[in-house]
């Protein structure tokens, strides 16, 4: 059983997971009025978009590290932390809820950065 609970780590991670994720276009478009940050680039990918902000945070993440569309958040946000995809690794906690080493955190961050670059190339 997983003990992954990201809210308890927000003081350390500053909600890094709420970053550049694929958001179904329908959810993105129907919630534009709830955006906190304006994207400077939107990368289309299938039926989703990747809104890119200058700080690499989700467009719907507010200043208190809360999701403005929590009830309507994408499936990827529900799955975050299960490590089933490169973009679902928490840099702070592993899927069992144990804190990662500094070295492992950096490896996870590099993995995410490479994935985003790959998406830009595919586009």
The pLDDT tens digits along the chain (123 residues) read 455 666 666 777 777 678 888 899 999 999 999 999 999 999 998 999 999 999 888 999 998 888 899 999 998 888 888 888 877 888 888 888 888 899 998 898 888 788 777 877 765
Residue 62 lies in a domain: yes
Tokens 């959810």 appear where?
27
Residue 26 lies in a domain: yes
Backbone angles phi, psi at 24, to 5 degrees: -50, 135
Residue 18 lies in a domain: yes
Q: Which of 86, 89, 85, 58 is nearest to 74 (CA)?
A: 58
| Structural domain harbouring 104 | 6-122
Residue 1 lies in a domain: no
Residue 93 lies in a domain: yes
Residue 32 lies in a domain: yes
Q: How many domains does the chain have?
A: 1
Tokens 């595919």 appear where?
122
How far apart are the C-alpha atoms of 95 and 67, rounded to whole Å? Answer: 21
Residue 31 lies in a domain: yes
């Amino acid at each position: 059983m997983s003990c992954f609970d990201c809210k308890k780590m927000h003081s350390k991670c500053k909600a890094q997971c709420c970053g550049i994720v694929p958001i179904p276009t329908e959810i993105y478009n129907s919630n534009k009025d709830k955006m906190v940050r304006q994207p400077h680039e939107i990368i289309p990918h299938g039926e989703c978009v990747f809104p890119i902000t200058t700080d690499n945070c989700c467009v719907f993440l507010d200043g208190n590290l809360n999701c403005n569309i929590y009830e309507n958040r994408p499936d990827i946000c529900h799955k975050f932390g299960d490590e089933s995809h490169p973009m679902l690794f928490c840099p702070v906690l592993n899927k069992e809820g144990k804190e990662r080493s500094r070295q492992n955190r950096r490896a996870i961050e590099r993995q995410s950065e490479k994935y985003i670059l790959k998406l830009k190339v595919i586009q």
